[in-house]
Amino acid sequence: MSVLMNAANISIVGNLTRDPELRQRAGQTVCDFSVGVHTDYKQNEEYVNNYYECSLWGKRGETFAQRAKKGDLVSVRGSVALTSYLAKDGQQKSSLHLSADAASVARITGGAEAAPAQPARNARAAAPKVTVMEDDDPLPF
């Protein structure tokens, strides 16, 4: 694997594509998760999505793993790197990896049947209320 590009801090908002996983690396706890970010442009008549593999270390990662699950709307801040690797099929691939400084889960309130999991594009009217749960908040139960 090689790093092709390294950027300063960025923030993304998107949906978790899988449940967060806690692991041990170099004697520390790390939470690995993937976020899909919807874009407003089309390619071949379909909207393009970007996917980020993310890592959040230590207590913040443990707390995030307890609160988040696949499909949740999340906000993640950190530094991103474009990496290149050789896939199992022998093709050269690249991926975006975000080393997170912070991550939070947005909880949608205002009626489950009225609030879809993914708000419609350009739907400004009747938008559900979103509450962002920061890392330092106590657990909601």
Q: What is the pLDDT of residue 82?
A: 83
Distance CA 71, CA 116 (A): 11
Distance CA 118, CA 108 (A): 10
What is the mean predicted confidence (pLDDT) over 53-62? 95
Average pLDDT, the chain: 80
Distance CA 96, CA 83 (A): 6
| Residue 129 pLDDT grade (very low, low, confident, very high; cuts 50, 70, 90) | low
Domains along the chain? 2-106 (2.40.50.140)
H or E element that contains 134:
none
Q: What is the DSSP letter of 45?
A: T
Which segments within the chain are labelled E, that is strand? 2-16, 21-25, 28-43, 46-57, 73-86, 92-109, 129-133
What is the mean predicted confidence (pLDDT) over 69-76? 95
The structure's pTM equals 0.69
Q: Is the pLDDT of residue 67 over 90?
A: yes
Q: Is the pLDDT of residue 52 over 80?
A: yes
Which tops the pLDDT comparison, 98 or 84? 98
Q: What is the pLDDT of residue 133?
A: 53
Q: What type of residue is 110?
A: G
Give the angle 29-49-23 at the CA atoms, nearest 5°: 10
Which tops the pLDDT comparison, 22 or 92? 22
Q: What is the pLDDT of residue 114?
A: 44
User: Mind giving me the DSSP string for 84-111?
Assistant: EEE-TTS-EEEEEEEEEEEEEEEEEES-
Strand partners, 100: 78
